[in-house]
Amino acid sequence: MTSTPDPQAAFRRVAEAIHRVFQGLHNLQERAELLQPPPLEGQEWYELLRQKLVPQLGGGGWLVAAVVGGTNIGKSVVFNHLAGCKASSSSPLASGTRHPVCLVPQGFSEGHDLQTIFPDFQLHEWSDASLALNTSDNHDLYWRAAPELPSTLLVLDTPDIDSDARVNWVRADAVRRSADILIAVLTQQKYNDAAVKEFFRKAAAEDKAVLIVFNQCLLPEDEAYWPVWVKTFCEETGVRPEAVYVAPNDRAAADQLALPFYERPWPVPENWGATEVSNVTRDLKADLSQLKFKEIRLRTLRGSLKEVLDPRSGLPAYLKSLQIASKDLAATSEKLSSEAVLKIRDWPTPHNSTFVEEIRDWWKSRQQGWAKKVNSFYDTLGAGVTWPFRKARDVIQGEPVPALDKYRELEWTAILTTIEELFDKLQWMADTGNRMVKPRIEEILQASTRTRLMETVRQKHAAINFEDEVKDVVASEMATFSEDSPELFRIYKQLHNVSAAVRPMTSVVLFSLGMGPAGETFAPVIADAAANAVVHVVTDVAGGTAAAVAGDTALSGAAASTSGMLQTWFHRLHSVFTQRRVDWLTGLIREELMGDLPEKIKQAADLPASEQFVAVSSSVTDLQSFVNQLQLPDVGEVAPQELS
Q: Tell me the pLDDT tens digit for each residue of 398-429.
A: 566 688 889 999 999 989 988 888 888 778 77
> Region 257-266: what's the mean pLDDT?
91
No. of helices (H) and no. of strands (E), the chain:
26, 12
376-401: average pLDDT: 60
The mean pLDDT of 573-593, rounded to a whole number, is 85
Tell me the C-alpha to C-alpha distance, in Å, between residue 464 and each of 246, 580, 589. 90, 13, 16
State how far Cα 324 lies from the chain centre: 14
Highest mean pLDDT among 363-372, 392-401, 445-454, 457-466: 457-466
- The pLDDT of residue 153 is 85
The answer, yes or no, to whether residue 81 has pLDDT greater than 50, is yes
Across all residues in the chain, what is the average pLDDT? 76
- Mean pLDDT, to the nearest integer, of 422-443? 76
pLDDT at 133: 62
Residues contacting 522, CB < 8 A, separation 6+: 356, 359, 515, 566, 570
Listing from the earlier edge strand, what are the strands of the sheet with 122-125? 122-125, 140-146, 101-105, 153-157, 63-69, 181-186, 209-217, 243-248, 262-264
Q: Which amino acid is at 441?
A: I
pTM value is 0.58
Length of the chain: 644
Q: Which domains does the chain have, with CATH numbers?
A: 61-308 (3.40.50.300), 351-534+557-596 (no CATH)
Say yes or no to pLDDT of 193 above 70: yes
| Tens digit of each residue's pLDDT (9 = 90 or more) over 212-224 | 999 999 988 888 8
The larger pLDDT score, comparing residue 492 to residue 615, is at 615
* Residue 515 in this model has a pLDDT that exceeds 60: no
- Count other C-beta atoms under 10 Å from residue 481's C-beta: 18
Query: Does 230 have pLDDT greater than 90?
Result: yes
Compute the half-sphere exposure of residue 568: CA atoms within 13 Å on the CB side of its CA: 14
Name which of 480, 490, 468 is nearest 573 in CA terms. 480
251 Cβ neighbours under 8 A, 6+ residues apart = 92
Q: Measured between alpha carbons, how far is 72 from 81 in angstroms, rounded to an integer?
A: 16
User: According to DSSP H, which parts of 402-437 are helical?
Assistant: 403-432
